[in-house]
């Protein structure tokens, strides 16, 4: 019997059909291990050999790969959902119910779609953190970091457009909050600074471009569906192709540079000094196990925990509270302290710009390809502060500590729908005794101008220092502006909470 | 033919130069034009949304000193009658567009999303709302019915509330 099977196997693997498909054998030689990779288009995303460092999950975390896996999961589950879901106001919600109850495995598939999407957002953040901590955005990988920033924005937009599709109360109001921020874009939104002056109306502005009308209705649903299923995935797919290709071109997984001097000289060459392992079977094995673990967790999670589906969308009833998706509650929390055009447009834009600027303002050659704290203190402290202390904390507050009326509630406190808290807020100029509008505007302008001038003062004081001369005025200007703006967020929060200050600068056109 | 010594000849264009520039210019103009056309196509001429003007009954249907919620659910508008006359308020919070609620007992509007508070007149007095609620043009039809035009907004901060009162 054993002979029969062996003969059968030999017959198959020596056949013409088999050899036309598979261009490698099964022997465990170095040559064949390389052939397994190079003869397979999917595996050949990887090089045939990588430095041994690249096998360590403690170094790489595997988050980039897991993010891609979750993207594939959302694509496959998404296609399945498309067989049953119609993006029309009359059908969308009913189709969701149909999927959850009447389609075999519909509930699990829908849940997997949502949890994989949320998982993808989280993994993208971890991936970004890991790349930052290993300095893998430094030369020659600067551009790839920026491709990554675009992919981060696309991931959030994919999640946001998908959020509307269930057409329930959660969907319609979260998207109302989100798209109203588009209406607050300066110069492009009819409710933003200078929007009305430019002749923008609720029918013709950036918000109505997204919604296909003046309100979140059937036109918006169809438009978001097309964005979510066609436009954004295509764009994300193209950028992923560039992103993966650049990883290879820039020298593969970043490795510790033992000579800090040759940063620019031989970017790809340093990898050869390290011991190299075959991708097949070692990395492929690790990736397969990681993918298996992620899929198991995702399956169990999707079977046990249903994705939320509230009552059907009702434009006349606003739930209290109406929260944005969790990855945007940080921005929603900022709305307490800033006007929509700042909290929803300017600050997120500056965050993206700041992320993109990182590889170009960071001239410290240390930490490129390995973990270190002492050699990169400013970079790491600033990034961790911006990411964890500000961004993640604001999200946590928005999700767990805010209840009806966006009032503060401890997580264990029962939500009181009628809680009213007296807010007596004053503007900073008022607090300083200024009562006239003109002088209030002047005062505010002086405060903001003076705040940013501190960067100029610091430059003047430190202009002869070694590091300042290496940094140069452009990089210094960029870093100081972004840093001061980030601190301004914290300062404004403290002023509001401790002293009930509402606006720092009041003008007839905008308030900060 | 261009020669090195003659600086004058360098300003001469060959046929190839001309057509090369014309070709690229044409390509980019078509691309730019298509993009502008695409942007315009994203703003349809007809919207399938409720009509902006609606009838709101007769003046006698409203008692002086009340805030009517009769058209709040159907049209998103409150109609108030005071000693001076009628005014209509758009039920959209000026903070981020949620629908506020009229709290009869406290004589004010409260928004559930972020806690903005407005007086019965529409003036914002607490919370993050930066402006007063928007009033809408309210007028009488030929038959004496109240008509509210949601496309005609009257903003307090622009001093337009003078026109917002309909005296009957």
Say which CATH number the domain at A268 has. Answer: 1.20.810.10
Residue A26 domain-assigned (yes or no): no
- How many angstroms from the chain centroid is the CA of residue A72? 17
Range of the domain at A419: 334-512
Q: Looking at residue B96, what is its pLDDT?
A: 73
Phi, psi of A319 (to 5 degrees): -65, 155
A229 and A81, same domain (yes or no):
yes
> Best interface-test mutation with B: which of A223, A420, A426, A509 has the largest number of B CBs within 10 A?
A420
Domain ranges of chain B: 8-41, 53-164
Alpha-carbon gap, residue A222 to A88, rounded angstroms: 7
Average pLDDT over chain B reads 88
**SS3 letters for chain B?**
CCCCCCCHHHHCCCHHHHHHHHHHHHHHHHHHHHHHHHHHHCCCCCCCCCCCEEECCCHHHCCCCEEECCCHHHHCEEEEECCCCEEEEECCCCCCCCCCEEECCCCEEECCCCCCEEECCCCEEECCCCCCCCEEEEEECCCCCEEEEEEEEECHHHCHHHHHCECC
ipTM above 0.90, yes or no: no
Average pLDDT over chain A reads 90
Q: Looking at residue A267, what is its pLDDT?
A: 55
CB contact under 8 A, B72 and A316: yes
The shortest C-alpha distance from B113 to chain A (Å) reads: 5
A191 and A280, same domain (yes or no):
yes
Alpha-helical (H) ranges within A423-507 are: 428-431, 437-462, 466-499
Residues of B in contact with A401 (CB under 8 A): none
The total of other beta-carbon atoms located within 10 Å of residue A419's CB is 14
A362 and A444, same domain (yes or no):
yes
Report pLDDT digits (tens) over B134-164: 999 999 999 989 999 988 889 898 888 988 8
Report pLDDT digits (tens) over A427-449: 888 888 888 889 989 999 999 99
Q: Looking at residue B140, what is its pLDDT?
A: 92
Average pLDDT of the residues in A405-414:
87
CB contact under 8 A, A176 and B96: yes
Residues of A in contact with B43 (CB under 8 A): 203-204, 208-209
Residue A32 domain-assigned (yes or no): no
Average pLDDT of the residues in A59-86:
96
- Chain pair A-B, CB pairs under 8 angstroms: 83
Q: Provide the token pair at B70.
A: 């009769």
Residue A324 domain-assigned (yes or no): no
Average pLDDT of the residues in A298-314:
94
A56 and A149, same domain (yes or no):
yes
Question: Would you call A410 helix, strand, or coil by DSSP?
Answer: coil
Residue A20 domain-assigned (yes or no): no
A302 and A363, same domain (yes or no):
no
Q: Is residue A270 pLDDT above 90, yes or no?
A: no
Q: Looking at residue A263, what is its pLDDT?
A: 47
CB contact under 8 A, A316 and B114: no
A364 and A302, same domain (yes or no):
no
Q: Is residue A322 pLDDT above 90, yes or no?
A: no
Residue A496 domain-assigned (yes or no): yes
Residues of A in contact with B98 (CB under 8 A): 173, 176-177, 318, 322
Report pLDDT digits (tens) over A22-65: 988 888 999 999 999 999 999 999 999 998 888 999 999 999 99
Report pLDDT digits (tens) over A208-255: 999 999 889 999 999 999 999 999 999 999 999 999 999 999 888 887
Q: Is residue A262 pLDDT above 90, yes or no?
A: no
Residue burial A95-119, b: 16+ Cβ < 10 Å; e: rest = bbeebbeebeebbbbbbbbbbbbeb
CB contact under 8 A, B44 and A173: no
**Matching CATH number, B53-164, of 3.30.420.10, 3.40.50.720, 2.102.10.10, 3.30.300.90:** 2.102.10.10
> Best interface-test mutation with A: which of B70, B97, B156 has the largest number of A CBs within 10 A?
B97
Residue A483 domain-assigned (yes or no): yes
Going by pLDDT thresholds of 50, 70 and 90, the confidence category of residue A259 is very low
A426 and A486, same domain (yes or no):
yes
pTM, entire model:
0.85
Count structural domains, chain A. 2
A261 and A362, same domain (yes or no):
no
> Best interface-test mutation with A: which of B114, B155, B157 has the largest number of A CBs within 10 A?
B114
Q: Which of A281, A313, A345 is the last residue of a domain?
A: A313
Report pLDDT digits (tens) over B25-67: 999 999 999 999 999 999 988 888 877 889 999 999 999 989 9
A59 and A194, same domain (yes or no):
yes
């Amino acid at each position: 019997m054993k002979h029969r099977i062996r003969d059968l196997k030999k017959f198959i693997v020596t056949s013409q059909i088999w050899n036309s498909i598979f261009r490698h054998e099964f022997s465990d030689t170095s040559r064949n291990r390389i052939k397994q990779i190079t003869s397979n288009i999917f595996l050949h995303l990887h090089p045939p050999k990588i430095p041994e460092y690249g096998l360590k999950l403690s170094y790489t975390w595997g988050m980039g790969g897991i993010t891609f896996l979750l993207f594939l999961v959302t694509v496959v589950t998404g296609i399945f959902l498309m067989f049953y879901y119609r993006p029309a106001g009359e059908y969308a919600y009913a189709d969701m119910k149909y999927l959850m109850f009447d389609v075999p495995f519909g509930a699990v598939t829908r849940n997997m779609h949502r949890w994989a999407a949320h998982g993808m957002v989280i993994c993208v953040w971890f991936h970004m953190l890991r790349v930052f901590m290993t300095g893998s955005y430094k030369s020659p990988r600067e551009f790839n970091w920026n491709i990554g920033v675009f992919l981060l924005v696309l991931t959030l937009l994919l999640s946001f457009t998908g959020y509307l599709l269930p057409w329930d109360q959660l969907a319609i109001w979260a998207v109302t909050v989100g798209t109203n921020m588009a209406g607050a874009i300066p110069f492009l939104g009819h409710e933003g600074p200078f929007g009305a002056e430019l002749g923008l109306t609720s029918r013709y502005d950036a918000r109505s471009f997204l919604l296909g009308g003046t309100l979140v209705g059937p036109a918006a649903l169809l438009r978001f569906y097309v964005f979510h299923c066609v436009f954004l995935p295509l764009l994300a797919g193209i950028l992923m192709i560039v992103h993966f290709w650049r990883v290879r071109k820039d020298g593969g997984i970043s490795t510790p540079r033992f000579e800090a001097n040759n940063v620019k000289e031989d970017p790809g060459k340093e990898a050869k000094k390290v011991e190299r392992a075959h991708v097949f079977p070692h990395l492929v094995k690790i990736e397969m196990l990681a993918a298996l673990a992620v899929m198991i967790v995702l399956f169990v999670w999707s079977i046990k925990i249903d994705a939320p589906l509230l009552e059907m969308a009702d434009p006349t009833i606003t739930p209290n509270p109406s929260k944005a998706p969790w990855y945007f509650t940080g921005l929603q929390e900022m709305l307490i302290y800033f006007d929509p055009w700042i909290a929803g447009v300017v600050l997120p834009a500056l965050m993206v710009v700041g992320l993109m600027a990182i590889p170009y303002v960071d001239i410290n050659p240390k930490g490129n390809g390995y973990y270190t704290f002492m050699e990169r203190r400013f970079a790491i402290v600033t990034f961790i502060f911006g990411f964890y202390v500000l961004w993640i904390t604001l999200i946590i507050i928005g999700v767990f500590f805010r209840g009806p009326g966006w009032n503060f509630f401890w997580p264990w406190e029962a939500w009181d729908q009628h809680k009213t808290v007296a807010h007596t807020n004053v503007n900073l100029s008022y607090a300083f005794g200024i009562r006239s509008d003109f002088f209030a505007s002047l005062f505010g302008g002086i405060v903001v101008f003076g705040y940013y001038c501190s960067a100029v003062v610091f430059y003047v004081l430190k202009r002869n220092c070694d590091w300042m001369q290496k940094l140069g005025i452009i990089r210094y200007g960029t870093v100081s502006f972004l840093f001061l703006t980030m601190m301004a967020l914290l300062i404004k929060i403290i002023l509001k909470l401790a002293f009930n200050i509402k606006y720092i600068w009041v003008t007839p056109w905008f308030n900060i | 033919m261009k020669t090195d010594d003659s600086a004058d000849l360098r300003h001469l264009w060959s046929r190839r130069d001309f057509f090369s520039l014309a070709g690229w210019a044409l390509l980019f103009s078509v691309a730019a034009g298509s993009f502008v056309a695409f942007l315009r196509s994203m703003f349809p001429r007809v919207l399938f949304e409720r009509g902006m003007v609606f009838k709101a009954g007769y003046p006698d249907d409203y008692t002086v000193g009340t805030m009517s919620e009769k058209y709040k659910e159907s049209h998103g508008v409150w109609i108030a009658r005071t000693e001076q006359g009628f005014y209509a308020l758009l039920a959209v919070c000026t903070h981020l567009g949620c629908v506020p609620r009229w709290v009869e007992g406290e004589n004010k509007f409260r928004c559930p999303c972020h806690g903005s508070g407005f007086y019965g007149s529409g003036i914002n007095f607490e919370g993050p709302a930066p402006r007063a609620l928007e009033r809408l043009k309210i007028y009488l039809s030929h038959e004496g019915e109240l008509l509210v035009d949601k496309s005609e907004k009257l903003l307090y901060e622009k001093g337009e509330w003078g026109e917002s009162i309909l005296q009957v």
